Amino acid sequence: MRKPLLEFNDNGIYCPPGKFYIDPWKPVDDAVITHAHSDHARWGSKQYLAHHLSREVLYYRLGEISLRTIGYGETVVKNGVKISLHPAGHIIGSAQVRIEYKGEVWVVSGDYKLENDGVCEPFEPVKCHSFISECTFGMPVYHWKPQQEIHNNINQWWRQNAAEGKATVIVGYSLGKAQRILQHLDLSIGGVFTHGTIDNTHEALRRNGVQLNAATRITPDTPKEAFRNAIIIAPPSSAGTPWMRRFMPYDFGYCSGWMALRGAKRRRAADRGFVLSDHADWEGLITAIAATECETVYLTHGYTATFARYLSENGYDAHEAHTLYGDDEGGEAQAEALAAESENAALAEGDSL
């Protein structure tokens, strides 16, 4: 049997003939990066290849790295292996990586969603023999509504809060969700503010030539009155911290695919949960995989065992792959676990107060 073109080793997804890695989780000599989320783009490799629109965010997050960027559809050859990037529709600059060697084609999806979010280049299926797909939401209970409906709900909620003189705090991941929220706000309702972390990301994207709606960075000097009928976009890490107090009185909404389940929303103690995801839902995953016309699927992120079993029953040669991905939305499952644990730990500490 021929060796697979890509394999999962201790460092990441490795291409033996090409001698490069895709989204390695340990420092390597040569790294191809699907997108700038921290679980896919890690620090310490000697050189990086990514899409043009990932450039500034990668510099911002990883510092001085040796980086080459290319456009979608452009081909780079490494040791006889052809590499090209194709839109994944996940976040700005996100790409699927297509590998071709001696007529065999593999595609690494990175993270992806099928719906055009109006912010990043929409997903394009790429035909291949083997497909390494994420399956963060690979359970049939996840079914996304059209994003316009969600954005309308967000605006309506904001409008109502503004009418009641309350601030509106909306939480979403700083790379991806925050831009999606910002670009779909009804700016006639009130002012838009961003947490420093999100503003930093936005500055990086602007340096990359990305046009984004204007938003004001929150500083210790921002007057409290400015928040009254404004919307504040904040990262998940700020939820429930004293930083939020300055917005009182406010309503707090959480934007994530996990909000599809009542229990997940309850654990975050959000007033409102908006089911908005940058990952494919169940139907989306099945559609995307079918469109590749692949025979073999390797699954990363989330419900890999369940989804692999389902695909196997439906005629695919499907495998679970063990990776360290899943720090953005996918990682929220782990974050949830940690939250539950730390809640427990904190409670345990409470024993000895």
Q: Which residue bears the tokens 């009155």?
A: 225
The one-letter amino acid code at 61 reads R
260 binds, among another protein, Zn ion, none (CB under 5 to 8 A by kind): another protein
Helix pair 196-207, 55-62: axis angle to 10 deg: 130
- Note whether 346 binds another protein by CB under 8 A: yes
When CB distances are held under 5 to 8 angstroms depending on the partner's kind, the choice from another protein, Zn ion, none that residue 341 binds is: another protein
Tell me how long the chain is: 353
Judged by CB under 5 A, which of 12, 24, 31, 37 binds Zn ion?
A: 37
Nearest distance, CB of residue 281 and Zn ion, angstroms: 15
Tokens of residue 53, six digits: 């629109």
- 141 belongs to the binding site for another protein (CB under 8 A): yes
Q: Name the minimum Å distance from CB 309 to another protein.
A: 8
x/- mask, another protein, residues 251-280, rule CB under 8 A, reads ---------xxxx--x--x-xx--------
64 interacts with another protein by CB under 8 A = no
CA distance to 19, 87, 114, 145, per residue, from 137 (Å) = 31, 20, 13, 14
Pairing between strand 20-22 and 13-15?
A: antiparallel
Residue 54 burial (CB count, 10 A): 31
Burial classification of residue 220, based on how many CB atoms lie within 10 Å of its CB (0-12 exposed, 13-18 middle, 19 or more buried):
exposed
- In whole angstroms, what is the distance from residue 236 CA to residue 239 CA? 5
**Interaction partner, residue 22 (another protein, Zn ion, none; CB < 5-8 Å by kind):** none
Cis peptide before 236 (omega within 30 of 0): no
Residue 70 as a binder of another protein (CB under 8 A): the answer is: no
Q: Give residues 141-170 in contact with Zn ion (rule: CB under 5 A).
A: none
CB of 285 to another protein, least distance (A): 14
Question: Nearer to another protein by C-beta: 19 or 143?
Answer: 143
C-alpha span between 271 and 259 (Å, rounded) = 11
Contact between 310 and another protein (CB under 8 A)?
yes
Nearer to another protein, 64 or 313 (CB): 313
**Interface contacts to another protein, rule CB under 8 A:** 139-143, 260-263, 266, 269, 271-272, 303, 306, 309-310, 313, 336-338, 340-341, 343-344, 346-348, 350-351, 353
